[in-house]
Amino acid sequence: MLVLTIIFSGVIYNRNLWAVPDQSFLHVFIWQFLVWLPWLGIFPFINRQLKLNSLLLWQWALASFLTTFVTIVWFVVISNFLSPYLDQPMTMFGLYKWWLVFWFTVSLLLFWAGIGFYLLISKEDRIPVTRWDDHRRLAIWQSGNQVIIDKDNIVWIGSRDYYAQIVLFDGERHWIRTRLNQFVKELPDEWFVRVHRSAIVNLKHLKKVNRHEDGFWEAVMSNGEHIRMSRAGKDRLEQAINIVK
């Protein structure tokens, strides 16, 4: 944000010397610093939502336009008090009209650039290593480090949108950006059963199967968690149990 403030302050200061010859660069800098201040909260918001993967594409598009609108309103409010071009000809609220179009475009581009940036730096967290070492261990990448997981320690794997959560018996949980189908291909199917479109369980950690009071079936795991099963998932589980027996 500091870099943006310096760049735009310099451009505006030099571009409009003819309009306000006695303008102060410090005045322009403070004005621009406050104009860009909301982005200190916008960028963390983008990063958090990407990690949670809680927004769909149309929601991101809507969020980008709403964010841009809010930043424009903030720009106008701050400029109305601090702009060095207040009361200049062809200005309103200390702004030239074309600045609003310019700021709208820049803000929109910044929002989507932020999405691209955070996706790029979190690339390692979103790439699972689809290889089993002697059918005993799974390697995943998180924050640039390779994490080795013993498959027997996996209790179950759940999914939410494009993320999968690996739940281990020792209490650890690992989130990686991939679909559950990836694990269906890689995990040994004699022990790992997909009981729901969003859940895979390890039969070695299955304690019992309960019928919930609402009518659906659930798998009770060794760590005490109850995993909801679909009708087809329950059938697959029963078949797998019979095969293991």
pTM for the whole structure: 0.48
Q: What value does the mean pLDDT take over residues 91-107? A: 79
Confidence at residue 187, expressed as pLDDT on a 0 to 100 scale = 78
More confidently predicted of 10 and 173:
173
- What confidence tier does 53 reach under pLDDT thresholds 50, 70, 90? low
Phi and psi at 206, nearest 5°, equal: -80, 125
Report the pLDDT averaged over residues 84-106: 76
pLDDT, mean of residues 130-141: 62
User: Mean of the pLDDT values across residues 50-67?
Assistant: 79
Q: List, in order, residues 6 or more apart from 155 with CB less than 8 Å away.
A: 167, 168, 169, 201, 202, 205, 221, 222, 223, 225
For residue 142, give the H/E element and its range. Answer: strand 137-142
Using only the alpha carbons of the chain, give its radius of gyration: 27
What domains lie within the chain, and their CATH numbers?
Answer: 2-121 (no CATH), 129-244 (2.40.50.1020)
Residue 131's pLDDT band (boundaries 50, 70, 90)? very low
Q: Looking at per-residue confidence, does 9 or 153 come out higher?
A: 153
Q: Do 208 and 237 touch, CB atoms closer than 8 A?
A: no
Separation between Cα atoms, residue 95 and residue 144, nearest integer Å: 45
232-244 tens-digit pLDDT:
999 989 888 875 5
For the chain, percent of residues with pLDDT exceeding 70: 77
* Lowest-confidence region among 1-15, 142-156, 159-173, 191-205: 1-15
Comparison of pLDDT for 67 and 27, the residue scoring more: 67
Average pLDDT, the chain: 80
Higher pLDDT, 1 or 190: 190
Torsion sign over Cα 173, 179, 184, 188: negative
